[in-house]
Amino acid sequence: MTEAQPLYARVKDHILTQIRSGSWAPGARVPSENELVESFGISRMTANRALRELHAEGYVARVPGVGTFVKEPPARGSLMELRNIAEEIEARGHRHSSRIVARAEVTATPALTEDFEMKTPQRLFHIVIVHEENGVPVQIEDRYVNPFAAPRFMAQDFSATTPTAYLVAAVPVDELEHTVEAVMPEPAQQELLGISANEPCLALRRRSWSRGHVVTLATLTYPASRYALYSRYKTSARGTIAQ
């Protein structure tokens, strides 16, 4: 079950764990390559690769002749927060309801295998839910979940809790990816949303990571006439970012 991990990945994991747990605060010194050589019993090139990749991924800063240090977490306001559609609807004073359309355990297709950054196809949870605002469908949530990240996902009662709400509470998210595009919905989707044949939809595709692994891939389809995505934020003052 536990896949044999390359040595450099084990070193990266060890360091990331310390950073994420807070044991090593921003600015703290990360063991030098030679120290990692000693403690892990590896060669310096392997330690170098681990630290170099952590640098490329933005977790640490490296200063030649001095050392490697934990970086300040990025001070960006999240453009699109991980918001719960039920809360959004209720915040507008409307009534949220949902209907579960599909609920199954599937084997990842090649495309999904890549989306989840897996080497080989694995089992995935799959769920399709239609969210309604005052009884009118406003979103199709088509979601795949990594069972290793959220093993108890399928046991939830999604008429009481939305998948987003459960996942946010159950798994710490440390990276998000959003892709937005305009699509013409499939006939099946048109029927679920109760829209006419030529109405475009907004498709928001969201992947979230936790501890370096993809937790979930959600495709949220909104009928154009009933929804728009919105964000407003102040541009953070630059100058505090050490690099």
Partner DNA sequence: CGCAGTATACTGTATAGACAACCTTATACA
Partner DNA sequence: TGTATAAGGTTGTCTATACAGTATACTGCG
Positions touching DNA (CB under 7 A) are: 6-9, 30, 32-35, 41-46, 48, 51-52, 55, 62-68
> In whole angstroms, how far apart are CA 27 and each of 13, 18, 19, 62, 68?
19, 13, 10, 11, 9
Nearer to DNA, 17 or 43 (CB): 43
Q: CB under 5 to 8 A by kind: which of DNA, a second copy, none does 211 bind?
A: none
Binding-site member from 43, 107, 109, 236 for a second copy (CB under 8 A)? 236
Q: Which does 65 bind (CB under 5 to 8 A by kind): a second copy, DNA, none?
A: DNA
Binding mask 80-119 for a second copy (x = CB under 8 A): x-x-------------------------------------
Residue closer to DNA (CB basis): 46 or 139: 46
- Is 238 near a second copy (CB under 8 A)? yes
Q: Which is nearer to a second copy, 59 or 153 (CB)?
A: 59
Round to whole Å and give the CA distance between 36 and 50.
10
Contacts of 118 (CB under 8 A, 6+ apart): 108
Contacts of 70 (CB under 8 A, 6+ apart): 19, 24, 25, 26, 27, 28, 29, 30, 59, 60
Nearer to a second copy, 135 or 233 (CB): 233
Binding-site partner at residue 152 among DNA, a second copy, none, CB < 5 to 8 Å by type: none
What is the four-CA torsion angle of 28, 34, 21, 210, rounded to 10 degrees?
120
Residue type, 168: V
The item of DNA, a second copy, none sharing an interface with residue 236, based on CB under 5 to 8 Å by kind, is a second copy
Amino acid at 182: A
In 3D space, the residue among 131, 157, 219 whose CA is nearest the CA of residue 183 turns out to be 219
Beta pairing class for 67-70 and 96-107: unpaired
Q: How far apart are CA 229 and CA 219, in angstroms?
A: 14
Q: Which is nearer to DNA, 55 or 211 (CB)?
A: 55
User: Please, are residues 176 and 141 in contact by the beta-carbon 8 Å criterion?
Assistant: no
170 binds a second copy (CB under 8 A): no
Least distance (Å) between residue 5 CB and DNA? 7
Note whether 1 binds a second copy by CB under 8 A: no
Residue 135 makes contact with a second copy by CB under 8 A = no
Of 104-112, 134-142, 153-161, 164-172, the segment contacting a second copy by CB under 8 A is 164-172
Find the largest Cα–Cα distance for the chain: 66
Shortest CB 117 distance to DNA, Å: 13
